[in-house]
Structure 1
Amino acid sequence: MINKIGKITVYVQDQEQAKDFWVNKVGFVVKFEQQMGPNMTWLEVGPSEAEFTTLVLYSKAAMEKHKPSAVAHPSILFSTTDIEAAYAKMKQNGVEVEDMMKMPYGSMFTFKDQDGNEYILREDK
């Protein structure tokens, strides 16, 4: 049946600001970008060129017009192999991060994007 997570849509106020955040502050790459009409762009970013799963940075205003109930923000948990380095780099890049949580099952922290949406980054060993 399902063998991969393909895309996760994040509804954003401004696609260019979101692109700047994910590419220049978090270190993602633009995987796909294409105009969908006069005022709409399909924009996907991901952790690397090789990574299959992407975030679709979709216009919140456009989706609210089409399907208002769809814009509730999903809960997204990202993974890293070096939580300390990721935490330091995000802080250095001006990302709003919460305190590191060190749990018996691993370390993690919450960070916010340019629209105040919250994400979790967890260390995988």
Structure 2
Amino acid sequence: MNWTLEVVPVPVTDLDRAKEFYADQVGFTVDLDDEVAPGVRVIQLTPPGSRCSIALLQGMPPAPGTRTTAPGALHGLQLCVTDIEAARAELVARGVDASPVRHIGAGGWEDGKGGTWNSFLSFQDPDGNGWNVQEAPSDLERR
């Protein structure tokens, strides 16, 4: 049996503002924007090339055994790209306040690209939810 991660809820205060940020600025595809039940709105967006989506939710009761997360409290979500510099240029061109490209060096974070798997940038959505972007080898380079 396969277990796949398909949807990650991202807590936000304003669904329309968050939808605009993720679709227009970050470049995610809007898969769904619907009122699935009275007072329950779901916006699902997917990064280009990903099978995993994010969900922006309004009016959804928490699943049994879970607790809600405050807007801006989600950190450490990570996207992978094959060209970190091109990804940063695209984000900045779309108005995202993306950090410089950095890598982990002997003294901690250092500016510039590192070796394989060691180049990162970060950004936050309008609520302060934090994202990391990591350069990863293409599938051909991994073999």
The CA RMSD measured in Å over matched residues stands at 2.3
After the TM superposition, which residues 1-125 of structure 1 pair with which residues of structure 2 at under 5 Å, given as runs?
Answer: 1-48=1-48, 51-59=50-58, 62=59, 69-71=67-69, 72-102=73-103, 103-104=114-115, 105-125=117-137
Distance 2:50 2:102 in 1: 26
Q: Could you tell me which amino acid in structure 2 is paired with residue 52 of structure 1? A: R
Aligned residues of 1:10 and 1:55 also touching (Cα < 8 A): yes
Measured against aligned partners, the alpha-carbon deviations of 1:64-90 in whole angstroms (never above 9, x if no partner) come to x85894214252100111111110111
**2:76 alignment partner, SS class:** coil
Distance 2:3 2:39 in 1: 34
TM-score normalized with structure 2 length = 0.73
- Which one has a bigger Cα radius of gyration? 2
Q: CA deviation at 1:27?
A: 0.8
Aligned residues of 1:10 and 1:74 also touching (Cα < 8 A): no
Q: Which moved more, 1:29-38 or 1:10-19?
A: 29-38
Aligned residues of 2:75 and 2:131 also touching (Cα < 8 A): no
Q: Could you tell me which amino acid in structure 2 is paired with residue 35 of structure 1? A: E
Q: Which runs of 5+ in 1 are unaligned?
A: none
Q: Which runs of 5+ in 2 are unaligned?
A: 104-113, 138-143
Q: Per the alignment, do residues 96 and 55 of structure 1 end up closer, same or farther by CA in structure 2, a change over 3 Å counting? A: same
